[in-house]
Amino acid sequence: MSTINKVPASAGAEWLLAGFALLKRAPVPLATLAVLWGLLSMVVMLVAVTLPAMTLAMQFLLVLAGPLFFAGMLWAVREVDQGRAAQPSHLLQPVRDGHAPALLATLLPQLLAALVMGALLFVLVGTEQLQHLAEVYQQMQTIAAAGGQPDPSLVEGLPAGRLLLWLLLVAIVFVAVKWMTFVASPQILFSGAHVMDAMRNSLRACLHNWTAMLVFYLLAGIAIFAVGMGSLLVASILALAVGATIAMGLWQFALLALVMPVLAGAAYAAWRQMLGKGDAVPGAPTAPARIEV
């Protein structure tokens, strides 16, 4: 039986601060892991560009590698939290420990959600209306490219109500899928939980602590936007010296080196509070209450 800890709304801010605190303790090693992932992704995309026939396969490979890389980052931040050094080899630690199948299985809810929502779109809107929507979109793109103003009459007759309902359902399903995997990987890696149990516990924990999740997503979005815009401004100035291409590449790697360790650290802290032993994270001195599920 899993124990879900009840945490206050402020815990969402504590998770984000914990991510920054862990990065501060080992900035170079953790940033290096993120940059290594960025370099590997760049190599894969270069292969796709060089061999167009391999584009779909390379994109699929990147999708599969995503959960494995993030699990490696989780392993690294736990090593830092426990006073050990983060190593590049930690990116492959989940694979060496045999967790790869379970981590890859966390992609199944996303695949299932995409199939269900795609089918629901056809049911709600219909094939003819979707074709009409595609035609209207192409016409509006053509008018916009020519510098004209789209005619409001183009959207008359479109099933706006059903489209809005579908978009609302997509948003709900998106949140549910994200919550199913938010702290699933730490359970698989550190608690040895079965993948289905891990995803179920993750969803229940996030639902039970929805206020903390809301605070976390709000603050994380603000932080990422602020960091992204600030670093983009620096990259724009740097472009005057080294060129736009190099500056944008450096900006992307720098953003990746900051964001990924922080998000991994935040997920690790959230797991410790919601599904661990109620351990305190940096800046969280109080222990949460518990409920049994």
Instruction: Return the pLDDT at 277.
Output: 67
Q: Which residues of the chain have pLDDT under 50?
A: 282-293
Strand partners, 3: 292
Instruction: Return the pLDDT at 70.
Output: 95
Q: What is the pTM of this model?
A: 0.85
User: Are the CB atoms for 262 and 170 separated by under 8 Å?
Assistant: no
User: What are the helix (H) ranges across 82-159?
Assistant: 93-96, 100-105, 108-125, 127-145
Instruction: Return the pLDDT at 186.
Output: 95
Instruction: Return the pLDDT at 128.
Output: 81
C-alpha to C-alpha distance for 262 and 256, rounded to whole angstroms? 10
Instruction: Return the pLDDT at 162.
Output: 85
Please, is 105 exposed, middle or buried when counting C-beta atoms within 10 Å of its C-beta (0-12, 13-18, 19+)?
middle
Q: What is the pLDDT of residues 204-234, one digit of tens each?
A: 999 999 999 999 999 999 999 999 898 889 8
What average pLDDT is seen over the chain?
87
C-alpha to C-alpha distance for 235 and 117, rounded to whole angstroms? 39
Instruction: Return the pLDDT at 223.
Output: 94
Residue 59 falls in which region: left (phi positive, over 0), alpha (psi -120 to 50) or beta? alpha
Q: Domain limits of the chain?
A: 3-282
Which structure tokens are listed for 60? 């699929």
Which structure tokens are listed for 53? 């026939």
C-alpha to C-alpha distance for 199 and 186, rounded to whole angstroms? 11
Site of tokens 């994380």: 220
Instruction: Return the pLDDT at 281.
Output: 61
Angle between helices 55-81 and 11-25 (to 10 degrees): 90
Q: In a 3-state reduction of DSSP, which class is residue 95?
A: helix
Could you tell me the maximum CA-CA distance found in the chain, to the nearest angstrom? 64
C-alpha to C-alpha distance for 176 and 204, rounded to whole angstroms? 10
**Which letter does DSSP use for residue 104 in this model?**
H
User: Are the CB atoms for 289 and 7 separated by under 8 Å?
Assistant: no
Distance in angstroms between the alpha carbons of the first and the last residue of the chain:
7
Instruction: Return the pLDDT at 288.
Output: 44
